[in-house]
């Protein structure tokens, strides 16, 4: 609906950025990008969720200092069983 509203006159084709989980393979990434292109986006950028979370939280990517971003949301139920 949002992309259709933006392309109502057929002139404007928005760019899309989408984040995907870290455990998806290349074929699934291409499928997500292809769906966005077919929905009307002119270009798509697919980034991993931890990278998007780091940028969204204000982590400076060009900093010489190390930052650790943990993505334990998917594996937390496995860790409790041990």
pTM of the model: 0.61
pLDDT of residue 82: 42
What are 16-60's pLDDT values in tens digits? 999 999 889 999 999 999 999 988 888 999 999 888 888 888 888
**Nearest Cα residue to 49 out of 79, 12, 23:** 23
Residues whose CB is less than 8 angstroms from the CB of residue 50 and which lie 6 or more positions away in sequence, other chains included: 22, 69, 70, 71
Q: Rounded mean pLDDT of 61-66? A: 84
CA 23/CA 57 separation, integer angstroms: 21
């Amino acid at each position: 609906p949002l992309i259709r509203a933006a392309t109502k006159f057929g002139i404007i084709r928005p760019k899309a950025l989408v984040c995907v989980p870290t455990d998806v393979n290349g074929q699934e990434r291409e499928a997500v990008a292809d769906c966005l292109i077919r929905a009307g986006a002119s270009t798509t950028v697919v980034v991993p969720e931890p990278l998007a979370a780091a940028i969204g939280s204000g982590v400076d990517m060009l900093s010489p200092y190390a930052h650790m971003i943990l993505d334990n949301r998917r594996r937390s139920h496995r860790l409790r069983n041990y």
